[in-house]
A and B are shown apart, each in its own frame.
Chain A
């Protein structure tokens, strides 16, 4: 039965370009440019390693994004399972050949660059689940035979990532996956059961946490308990953001980051730096750009006539939202500090690559999913 596949429109290249979502296109570009300036500021206004490689990466990945955008959405549909298993294999590979840095094994060396498979898993899990659920009818979704595969698909990568250990990414991967499960119509009742069980398992889970992870949670609950140790990051981050005021301290004038009080300013805390220098107005503007991107993705999803595209776009939009929200809430002291980069803004190749690929699939939905074949 061919109904599961999209109709293969033979669109000309010109048509495809015209079908691109230019709003999303420019929003991503805008975010990229903002990230260059932010990165430049982390290096105190010197055009050095981080800024340079961040810019190179952005343009290379942006090019990949454009190229992949023209791929037919059918490709991703067919390729969904394979992609998932390849990345799962890489995740297992990390366990054996991974590179250890700052106490955790997250990267795998691909000679040219180091890849973080867990970042790619964020996207491939969404594709996998979208592929799995798109043809299952609403009534069947909650049946047991249809919950076994997603359950494994969710928890195998989760378990692999959490043992790296990388609690932040693991939770983000799981959250993205669960979003797709939710969207596919999984009964709310079962979700309730699921979360209830999770709550009951919490104490057990806590006993499995590494000491530093426990410390982070305790620190989140009360940063002042160890202001120079575990609580240092969050206290300094709040000071940086709070001292920014309405309009900020001005570009390249963030004393907290300039004087090295701010930790991890290239990666997880880049929003802090941005917020310190551009204040409430700048931060809100950045937040609006992210909101617009999410809006555009949802919009594309809603216009998508097939359920794979819809599920994928909504799933990715939700995941993207979660990445942004978790990162911001983390630096604002609303969530414990877990490793969660801010999409596009943070320094980090794998994260940016996976986000760009995800965008390209969204674009592909826009180009090829405008009608459905039944």
Chain B
């Protein structure tokens, strides 16, 4: 018994000993756990606290409301409207196929949308929200909200979208907004700072020029969210700032009227206030619906626009380049008179053509005009007369006058797409073509052909600066009171005193003439061109006294007419479209107390008198009809300023 007892006792001691070893180990482990707790909860507390907050708090930038673009009368040209959208956060979607399947049950989401989304997904970071559907109907949107918990990673959003006048009358001028591309982000620091999903940026036109001011500042919403991204409660809301609103000098009604006149034609119409430089209308045709770009245009529609020979996406008013043709003749005449090269009495006999160094130069009228004075040469647009004037004047003196009156340089600094055109001179040719000037080129420059290139807006400005008596004005589209202050100061009093006959001679505007009589002479000649028999635009004249206007037609050849063709005596109608001449017309109205200048270019429209002047007639009537209401508002605004 004792033996056994001893054996048990020794075993008992062994067990205790071994337990003691184990207990020591336990103590060590427990201290290990405590020190780990200490490390996590005390040493690293700040790190984990911020990680916890990062989990818990989620901030949403709220896209700011884009400023509205108004016309002169306060009508909205580009405004905002409410749309229902569906956003998704790619990393929160566990299974894309399942996601697409569920989505297709809730909203219209077909294969093509799926493919497009997948393509865009590849370019995005997984935590960046991406817009799945930009324009949902209300029923789709409410359905989505109802089944929100069943589809992970989606976010229905009520967003503000851009809305334009959908007839496209101002599409080129205003431009459009579209999703911010990677390129936009690379270029603009502002966009990088304020980028929010759903934010659009101006791609061209005024939308691009005004982008930084019109885009606004995004707001911020801070939410506590749970692990599934569901917002539990809003903790903070910082109101964003909506973008500035801008008023333009445009008249939507005229814009739309003009746009209709240009339907099915390719060309441009510009209308300008000759004193303030306010652009009343600036339309390019054919046009497009800018609303389609807001949510990404479909490939098919894009291809249609791009492949159209009439180039609907080009803003022809500022980036279309055309030889000014005969519309430059008033400037040639003025230049010659100012430089005392010829007098108004100068007579040239037109026989239909002339020869210089063995080269034959034709007048548009094959049989010739006979004896021409300067006035009748402008009126009937005799080419031979202007060959002779140009020959005497020389290209360099002509180019100085042309540049003075606004050709060869950009009219605005608003549009990246605006082009400056070309006013050639001897130096220019040497620098750009590398050869010396030849006299023949001076001759054809005298009728606005050759190297001459101008935009319709330049022609409009040229006419405006002639019509206002030869004073330099700064055209504007954005009605910025402060920028226009000097102009207003210059002639406010006159404007208020004598409403109809504005004389700027005592203003501090830059004079473009040397002798006032020369300007008067040219304007009178233009009167003849429209209102006297034999005038080139006589058939398009307006007879009511308050509508009477004066204008100059132009027909610009787009290639040389060969001798054979001249023999065949081809009519413009018989030529294929691409080979027809451009029809141009510049005018100012009313003749007696001029207020507006207009320029029209119809691409391949045939002759100026048949292709462009009839449209001008309608537009001028419309603009003059709108004059009273415009002037009243203008006076009110000047009073304010």
Contacts and interface: CB of A to CB of B under 8 A. Distances in A.
Interface of A: 3, 137-138, 179, 182-185, 228, 236, 238-246, 255-256, 259-261, 275, 279-280, 283-284, 287, 291, 294, 298, 301-302, 307, 310-311, 314, 318, 321, 325, 328-329, 332, 334, 372, 374
Given A242-B45, A246-B41, A291-B30, A374 B5 contact: yes
Interface in B317-357: none
Contacts of B53: 243
B239 interface: no
B44 interface: yes
A372 B12 CA distance: 12
Interface stretch (B13-21, B258-266, B549-557): B13-21
A72 B227 CA distance: 51
A183 B22 contact: yes
Interface stretch (B32-40, B425-433, B466-474, B583-591): B32-40
Interface hub of A3, A242, A301, A310 (most chain B Cβ within 10 A): A242
A242 B37 CA distance: 8
A183 B20 CA distance: 10
A325 B29 contact: yes
A302 B23 CA distance: 12
Contact of B49 (A183, A243, A307): A243
Contact of B16 (A302, A318, A372): A302
For the residues of A in contact with B, the DSSP-based class is helix
Contacts of B227: 259-261
B214 to A, nearest CB: 39
A294 B27 CA distance: 11
Contacts of A374: 1, 4-5, 8
Contact of B45 (A182, A245, A256, A334): A245
Given A137-B11, A238-B48, A245-B49, A283 B232 contact: no
A287 B33 contact: yes
Given A242-B48, A259-B55, A302-B16, A283 B41 contact: yes
A3 B26 contact: no
A279 B38 CA distance: 10
B51 A242 contact: yes
A102 B70 CA distance: 63
25 contacts: A138-B10, A138-B11, A183-B15, A183-B22, A228-B91, A238-B48, A239-B55, A242-B40, A242-B45, A242-B51, A242-B52, A243-B45, A245-B41, A256-B52, A256-B55, A259-B55, A260-B226, A260-B228, A261-B55, A280-B41, A280-B42, A284-B37, A310-B15, A329-B36, A332-B33
Contact of B52 (A182, A255, A279, A291): A255
Contacts of A372: 8
A228 B153 CA distance: 14
Given A260-B228, A283-B41, 5 more contacts: A246-B42, A280-B42, A287-B30, A332-B33, A334-B36
B225 interface: yes
Given A184-B15, A307-B12, A241 B34 contact: no
B12 A332 contact: no
Contacts of A261: 55-56, 226-227
Given A245-B49, A256-B55, A307 B37 contact: no
Contact of A318 (B1, B4, B22, B45): B22
A307 B14 CA distance: 11
Contacts of A284: 34, 37
Contact of B22 (A138, A182, A246): A182
A255 B41 contact: no
A-B CB proximity, top 7 nearest: A242-B48, A243-B52, A260-B227, A259-B226, A280-B41, A242-B40, A243-B48
A239 B15 CA distance: 42
Interface hub of A3, A255, A329 (most chain B Cβ within 10 A): A255
Nearest to B43: A242
Contacts of A294: 26
Contact of A179 (B22, B37, B55, B226): B22
A318 B22 CA distance: 8
B19 A314 contact: yes
A287 B27 CA distance: 11
A329 B44 CA distance: 17
B532 interface: no
B534 interface: no
A274 to B, nearest CB: 11
B102 interface: no
A55 B535 CA distance: 107
Given A294-B26, A325-B33, A245 B19 contact: no
B52 to A, nearest CB: 4
Interface hub of B12, B19, B56 (most chain A Cβ within 10 A): B19
A332 B7 contact: no
Interface string B43-65: 01101110111011000000000
B224 interface: yes
A179 B19 CA distance: 9
Given A137-B7, A244-B41, A328-B33, A259 B23 contact: no
Nearest to B3: A137
Interface in B186-233: 224-228, 232
A242 B15 contact: no
Nearest to A313: B19
A147 to B, nearest CB: 17
Nearest to A237: B40
A184 B10 CA distance: 11
A283 B225 contact: no
B25 to A, nearest CB: 9
B231 to A, nearest CB: 11
A259 B15 contact: no
A300 to B, nearest CB: 12
Nearest to A247: B41
Nearest to A262: B227
A334 B91 CA distance: 29
Contacts of A179: 22
Contact of B18 (A185, A242, A321, A325): A185
B224 to A, nearest CB: 7
A236 to B, nearest CB: 8
A310 B48 contact: no
Interface hub of A236, A239, A240, A310 (most chain B Cβ within 10 A): A239
A275 B36 CA distance: 12
A328 B42 CA distance: 17
Nearest to A235: B51
Contacts of A138: 7, 10-11, 14
A3 B1 CA distance: 9
Contacts of B52: 239-240, 242-243, 255-256
Contact of B56 (A137, A255, A275, A311): A255
A340 to B, nearest CB: 14
Nearest to B48: A242
Contacts of B47: 242
A307 B11 contact: yes
Contact of A239 (B7, B32, B48): B48
B48 A183 contact: no
Interface in B63-94: 91
Contacts of B38: 280
A372 B45 CA distance: 53
Given A3-B4, A242-B45, A283 B37 contact: yes
Contacts of B40: 238, 241-242, 332
Contacts of B91: 228
A324 to B, nearest CB: 9
